[in-house]
Amino acid sequence: MDRPRLRRGVRLTYDKTRDTHVLLYPEGVLVPNPTAATVLGLCDGNRTVQDIVAALGQRYSGVREHEVHGVLARLVERRMVEWT
């Protein structure tokens, strides 16, 4: 249970009108910051948190695993992400 994925009914997409990624869910829309959008894009149920941290480390400097866990914990609380 260390592989995050988007919950059923939740979808990350690019909104051309807003010129940013948005997270669509049954109750509404969430506009994540670019880093959170990148994390969400990696939450496929196959990658572990360590895999996500490694992928982020290739794009950004100073990626910390506990910060990725923090982002994921907030998304789990909001029922956007679940663990498999």
**How far, in Å, are 15, 38, 45 from residue 49 at the CA level?**
26, 13, 10
Instruction: Give the tokens for residue 9.
Output: 């009914």
Instruction: Please report the domains of the chain, with CATH numbers, ordered by start residue.
Output: 4-79 (1.10.10.1150)
Read off φ and ψ for residue 28, nearest 5 degrees. 160, -150
Which pLDDT score, from 0 to 100, does residue 35 have? 87
Q: What is the pLDDT of residues 8-40, one digit of tens each?
A: 999 999 999 999 999 999 989 999 999 899 999
Res. 1: pLDDT tops 80: no
Cβ contact 12:6 at 8 Å:
yes
39-60 pLDDT, tens digit per residue, is: 999 999 999 999 999 999 999 9
From the list 48, 28, 23, the residue with the least C-alpha distance to 38 is: 23
Q: How far apart are CA 12 and CA 23, in angstroms?
A: 4
